[in-house]
Structures are given as C-alpha cells and as structure tokens.
Amino acid sequence: MKKFLLLCLLMPSVMGNAQVVKNWNLGVSGSTGRSYYNRKYYDQPDLPPGRIAKLKSNYLWGGAIWAEKYLNRHVAAIGELRYTEIDVPNNTLCECSYTGAAILQDEKHYWGSVGVGLRYYLNPKSPVSLFFDAKADADWLIVAKEKINNKTYNRWNAMGYSQLAPSLSFGLGSKWKRLAVSFGVYSNVARTMVRDVGVHNKVHYGMKTGLMSRGFFAKTSITVFRLR
C-alpha cells in the first residue's frame, strides 16, 4: 500500500513531461453553435402586429487564428481574430413587406471579431489538461447577405443597424498535446445593435429597434507553433 501511494504521488510529475508548456502558443481553431436573438421595439408598450421579438439562427460556423502567452504554469493570456458566418431566419434585419413577386430565400450574417482574455489550467502537469477561459470580444457585422429571387444582395450597412456588438464569452475545455476541445457560451454585453427611425436602404422605418444576441458554441483548436 505504501508503494502504491508513493507511485500515485510521483505519477503526475512523471507524466507532466507529456504536456509541454512554452511561453507562446500560436494556432488555429474552428467552431460551430447557435445564436439566439432578442429584438426590442423602443417606445412600444406591446409587440407590434406582425413583428417577431425572439429568433434563433439555423447554424453558425467560424474560423480563427489565436495566440496564447503563458503568464505562469496555470494562467495564460489569450488573443483571437475570428471570422463567423451565421445563417439567420429570412428577413431578420430588414423586416420588410415583400410583394408576391419577391421570394426571400436566404439571409446570412458575416462577422469579424477581436477578442482578448485569460485562461486558467486546472492541472497543467497532466497529459490531458482541463481549462476555463473568459474573453471579451469586439464583434463587427461586416456584411449581411440576402438572397432574393436567386440574386444575392450585400447589405454593408446592416440595414441601418449599428454594426458593433461587444460581447463576453466563457468556456470549459481540455487540452491534449496540440489539440484542444472546448464548449462555451457568449452574450452581448448590451443592446448596441440599434436602428433609429429613418430611411435605410430606401426603406422607411417608423420604429426604433435593437437586437441583442447570446448563444453557445463548440470549438476545436490546434496549436501550430510553440515558441519560447
């Protein structure tokens, strides 16, 4: 029994060689998940007829390049540049009344994001290390694409909505050698995507509206470079 306990105590230090910790890690990642939207109609006591306040995406996927700088064996600073495509319900942004001749077939939103945060490794000496991370992101809606009657229209001004949407994300994951898998949630920190009353893309909007998003994601990351 004493030999067994001694072996258990020595095992983490022996196996720790399998999880190499360098000062810098650089890599790529891919993610998928789903977004949920809540739309607010300002100065409206009730939901206006024909309007939809709650929506969810059909899918989302994204790719990113990231960097990780170890501050000590347990804590690392992380930075990320991410591109995301989100397939949303048709007419999410425009909320237009189309004539019978116009068939709205598809709507996709393309986002660019810059994020920074911290990651905490629970057991950095283990060959499979568990971690928790928290990150702040600046998300920018690059373009919204609508497909109408088999023709694609690029809405570079997000149909009048402000295009910056700051968010926070939190994730749990595990890392083995160069491979990491994580699951997490995100939420906009405020309803910053707002469209004021006025004319946008030749459409008159008589109500001020705002969109807020939150959702979940699954991410797979690969470390490409390890640097000192």
Domains and CATH numbers, the chain: 22-227 (2.40.160)
Q: How many CB atoms lie within 10 A of CB 133?
A: 19
Measured distance CA(115)–CA(8) in Å, rounded: 40
Binning pLDDT at 50, 70 and 90, where does residue 18 land?
very low
Would you give the end-to-end CA distance of the chain in angstroms? 41
- Please, which residues bridge with residue 174 across strands? 130, 181
DSSP string spanning the chain?
A: -HHHHHHHHHHHHHHGGGS---SEEEEEEEEEEEEEEEEEETT-SSPPTT---EEE-SEEEEEEEEEEEESSSSEEEEEEEEEEEEE--TTTTT-----TT--EEEEEEEEEEEEEEEEEES-TTSSEEEEEEEEEEEEEEEEEEEEETTEEEEETTGGG---EEEEEEEEEEEEETTEEEEEEEEEESS--EEE-SEEETTEEE-S-EEEEEEEEEEEEEEEEEEE-
Q: Cβ contacts of residue 212 below 8 Å, gap of 6+?
A: 37, 38, 39, 40, 188, 190, 191, 193
Q: Are 186 and 168 in contact (CB under 8 A)?
A: yes
Report the percent of the chain where pLDDT is more than 90: 77
Task: Summarize pLDDT for 47-89 with one digit per residue, the tens.
Answer: 888 889 999 999 999 999 999 999 999 999 999 999 999 999 9
Tokens of 103: 């068939």
Binning pLDDT at 50, 70 and 90, where does residue 118 land?
very high
Phi, psi of 12 (to 5 degrees): -60, -40
pLDDT at 3 exceeding the cut of 80:
no
Task: Summarize pLDDT for 188-201 with one digit per residue, the tens.
Answer: 999 999 999 999 88
Average pLDDT over residues 126-134: 96
Q: Are 23 and 228 in contact (CB under 8 A)?
A: yes
Rg (CA), the chain: 22
- Nearest to residue 29, comparing CAs of 86, 104, 94, 81? 81
Average pLDDT over residues 160-187: 97
Phi, psi of 51 (to 5 degrees): -95, 155
Measured distance CA(79)–CA(91) in Å, rounded: 34
